[in-house]
Structure 1
Amino acid sequence: MDKYLVTGASGNIGKYVVDELIVLKKDIKAAVHNTEKAKKLFKDKEDVELVKFDFLDKKTFENALEGVQAIFLVRPPNLANPRKDMLPFLEAAKEKGIEKIVFVSLLGVEKNPIVPHRKIENMIKNLSIPYVFLRPSFFMQNLNTNHKEEIKKRDELYIPAGSSKTSFIDTRDIARAAAISLIENKYKNISITLTGKEAIDYNEVSKILSEVLGRKIEYKNPSLLRFRKERIKRGTPKEFANVMTLLYLMTKLGTAKDITYDLEKIIGREPIGFKQYAIDHKDYWS
């Protein structure tokens, strides 16, 4: 048996995990909410089996887990209560004899017991399921998802991070590390902090975006409370606005600036730099 379940398979890490596993010639179950919608995304991928999956629907667990060796796990941002929302699936995985879970956790989670990621890590450990916890820094791709509209329509970065630096990481690199961690036995029962190759502040981010896009992108640095209020006003769900505010508070306190070299050791090449990310994604903001 050599089949892998990828949760969040249409997301900004999961879709790249699928691609990496295809390169590694593995069979894949891609877990998605809407299989019809996902068919377009995976139409050219013969080794991918689409399965309808929902953490909140136990009826979807059996088919998703059948014949699976290991799981790539991401927490949907809207699921704020891991014990209620995700533990039933983890218990089902344990019952099925899953050999490993590679979970995308959070940078600095070992110092923060209240965030959902820490609780999920603890649940996996308590169930004695072999694991790899990947603890990445701030995703570059957050800028073309969570901050896409403000860059595209307002030519601004509306982020309360002060002058602190962030060791941004490309989700394509996280996906490669996740795929390798899934299939290689030497990665087992470990937690790995993943960062990009350099730490830059948001003034530098705005400078690079301005250069790549050919127009001025201004870094606006609101207070944390003003940021939260404005995000909610612009349509961000309150719970997610709270999470974003907490993450930027941690950034402002300097927790996102450190650089590690474990990513390069796993993926076997230099991590993708911020300018290359911006070039590759510029159509999102055009």
Structure 2
Amino acid sequence: MGKKILVTGVPGNVGSAVVNNLIEYGCEVRAAVYNIERARGEVDSNVQLVRLDFEDPTTYEPALEGINKIFLMRPPAISDMKKYMFPFIDKAKEMGVEHVVFLSLLGIEKNPIPPHYKVEKYLEKSGIDYTFLRPSFFMQNLSTTHRDDIKTEGNIFIPAGNAKVSFIDARDIGEVGAITLANKGHENKAYTLTGPEAITYYDVADIFTKELGRKVRYTNPNPLKFRNTMIRKGTPKAFANVMVGLYLTTRFGMAKLVTPQMEKILGRKPISVKQFIQDHIECW
């Protein structure tokens, strides 16, 4: 292949999955991390690590040196795209990057409020080939953000109403990211990625109950109670507000879409919530 690929968002769930899949495909990979020492034990020892801080433009050129393609993720803490992400994209173009695969959001093409919308539009105008991955809700939220509630209280404490959600496994997104980088034919396309089915959080609680062998409930708090409780437990206000916003869009049925694109790209059925819970059973 002879292409060198920079992967951002490492050692997070999606970024790490992209790296691992690219290694399997025999690609030359460089992982962009914020803290090299901290990442060293979490990333495959065969992968070159490089420091990248979107808020420090002096880190751009060393990270991009010799790179042909990028898997790009927006760090959650960065909201000013014009100040931080656009200059990185400009530098990538200047240094000869040919293709950027960007991890975006489900339904972003109709929702100009999240910063991902601005990044998509900027990439479209940049002249670099792009691929937009627009995934549904990550199953990994159940094993990270909401893990303690499920483990200690048997409670899925999420204000999503009775809405259906087409949950997706970050491992599948990572595999799709690697496929779209390692193979031709995905340039200048946008993929709406979902899991194999849309189910409610009541259904998720039932699957947990069956797989864990103990009762797990979905208590469906009202959004204000959810926000206040999260803040009381130590969640920063800004992040609590973002979570409420996301779950409000879920309540309005915006996360129920199921598409065949994931299965077409992977050549298999996406991972189900049941499989995800079985694979991570030690979490809860």
TM bucket, shorter chain: over 0.9
Secondary structure class of the residue paired with 1:103: strand
Query: Match for residue 40 of structure 1?
Result: 41
State the alpha-carbon separation in 1 of the partners of residues 213 and 81 from structure 2.
Answer: 43
- Is 2:15 the partner of 1:29? no
Provide the residue aligned with 1:93 in structure 2: 92
Q: After alignment, is 71-80 or 11-20 more displaced?
A: 71-80
Q: Deviation digits for residues 87-119 of structure 1, max 9, x if unmatched? A: 121111111121111011000111111111111
Q: Does 1:253 align with 2:255?
A: no
CA distance in 1, matches of 2:91, 2:250: 36
Letter paired with 2:13: N
In structure 2, how many angstroms separate the alpha carbons of the residues matched to 1:118 and 1:149? 32
Q: 1:18 offset after TM fit, Å?
A: 0.6
Deviation at 1:154, TM superposition (A): 2.1
Segment of structure 1 superposing worse, 255-264 or 205-214: 205-214
Tell me, what secondary structure is at the counterpart of 1:131?
A: strand
Q: Where does residue 14 of structure 2 map in the other structure?
A: 13
Match of 2:130 in 1: 131
Cα root mean square deviation, aligned: 1.2
Unaligned segments of structure 2, at least 5 residues: none
Q: Is the 8 A contact 1:78 1:240 kept in 2?
A: no
The equivalent residue for 1:111 is: 110
Q: Which runs of 4+ in 1 moved over 3 A?
A: none
Q: Which residue pairs with 1:82 in the alignment?
A: 81
- Which amino acid is the alignment partner of residue 186 of structure 1? G
1:172 maps to amino acid: R
Measured in 2, the distance between the counterparts of 1:241 and 1:196 equals 25
1:212-270 alpha-carbon deviations (Å, 9 max, x no partner): 22221111111112212221221112222122111111111011111100111101111
TM-score by length of 2: 0.96
Contact residue 55 and residue 89 of structure 1 kept, 8 A: yes
Question: Secondary structure of 2:221's match?
Answer: coil
Structure 1 unaligned runs (5+)? Answer: none
Q: Which amino acid aligns with 1:3?
A: K
Q: Contact (CA 8 Å) 1:77, 1:240: kept in 2 or not?
A: no
The question of 1:222 aligning with 2:193 is answered no
> What displacement does 1:45 show?
3.7
Q: What are the superposed Cα offsets for residues 54-98 of structure 1, whole Å, 9 maximum, x if unpaired? A: 111111111110111100011111112222231121111111121
User: Structure 1 residues 128 and 242, CA, compared in 2 at 3 Å: closer, same or farther?
Assistant: farther
Aligned length: 283
In the superposition, the TM-score normalised over structure 1's length comes to: 0.96
AA in 1 matched with 2:38: K
User: 1:70, 1:100 within 8 Å by CA — same for their partners in 2?
Assistant: yes
Maintained 8 Å contact 1:158/1:222: yes
Where 2:40 maps in the other structure, the secondary structure is helix
SS of equivalent residue, structure 2 residue 93: helix
Which moves more between the two structures, 235-244 or 262-271? 235-244
- Report the identity percentage: 51
Tell me the SS of whatever aligns to 2:6. strand
Within 5 Å, give how 1:50-199 maps onto structure 2: 50-199=49-198
Once the two structures are TM-superposed, the CA of residue 126 in structure 1 deviates from its matched residue by 2.2
